[in-house]
């Protein structure tokens, strides 16, 4: 499990990426609708991630986080100086007792980029009205081969507003038509 927290003007966000035993990533984002310090956000991201892990029935867990302070406080390598952080650390340790085994690793931000991306997604996409959760999927397309114009037409929008900046590119791709204006033609 990779976790990360993010502080922004509209609140706090958390991202987590679970990795199944088969290596399949399972991303999750959280909106934390309250303001707090960066360290507390990281603790809350860890706590939310651990709770989600328990809900999935996981019993053995490897935890990866990129904030050295939090990881080392939880493992006992660092002493907790602030009472508020101590309470969060104690809660994490209580939750960790629910697992048969667990390991906690401090990793680089680069290694934690997917959890960071999930926290960023939560900051960019607001809640859908009337819903506390929603799902989305990111699919990797390794190639997209179109063998004829009919398939291409099926892929393209049937209507493009002529005021849109991409209309000239769209027309060129669809019907091989350049704009009459030489300046606009050179942009395609």
Rounded to 5 degrees, φ, ψ at 162 are -65, -15
Same domain assignment for residues 117 and 155:
no
How far apart (Å, rounded) are the C-alpha atoms in residues 124 and 74?
30
Rounded to 5 degrees, φ, ψ at 90 are -60, -40
Same domain assignment for residues 24 and 74:
yes
Q: Is residue 53 part of a domain?
A: yes
CATH number of the domain residue 75 falls in: 3.30.420.10
Model confidence at 165: pLDDT above 60: no
The whole domain housing 171 covers: 149-187
Q: What percent of the chain has pLDDT over 90?
A: 35
| Per-residue pLDDT tens digits for 32-45 | 777 788 899 899 89
Same domain assignment for residues 114 and 158:
no
Number of domains the chain is built from:
2
Q: Is residue 23 part of a domain?
A: yes
Q: Which pLDDT score, from 0 to 100, does residue 32 have?
A: 75
C-alpha distance across the termini of the chain, in Å:
45
Model confidence at 172: pLDDT above 90: no
Model confidence at 83: pLDDT above 60: yes
| Per-residue pLDDT tens digits for 133-144 | 555 555 555 555
Do 119 and 6 touch, CB atoms closer than 8 A? Answer: yes
């Amino acid at each position: 499990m990779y976790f990360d927290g993010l502080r922004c003007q509209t609140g706090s966000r958390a991202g987590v990426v679970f990795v199944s035993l088969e290596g399949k990533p399972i991303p999750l984002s959280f909106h934390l609708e309250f303001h707090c310090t960066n360290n507390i956000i990281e603790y809350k991201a860890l706590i939310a991630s651990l709770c989600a892990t328990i809900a999935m029935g996981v019993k053995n867990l490897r935890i990866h986080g990129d904030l050295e302070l939090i990881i080392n406080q939880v493992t006992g390598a660092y002493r907790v100086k602030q009472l508020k952080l101590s309470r969060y650390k104690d809660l994490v340790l209580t939750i960790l007792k629910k697992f048969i085994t667990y390991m906690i690793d401090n990793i680089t931000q680069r290694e934690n980029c997917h959890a960071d991306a999930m926290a960023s997604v939560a900051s960019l996409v607001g809640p859908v009205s009337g819903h506390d959760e929603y799902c989305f999927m990111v699919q990797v397309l390794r190639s997209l081969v179109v063998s004829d114009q009919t398939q291409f037409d099926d892929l393209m929008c049937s209507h493009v507003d002529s005021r849109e900046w991409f209309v000239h590119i769209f027309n060129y791709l669809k019907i091989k038509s350049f704009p009459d204006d030489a300046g606009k033609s050179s942009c395609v």
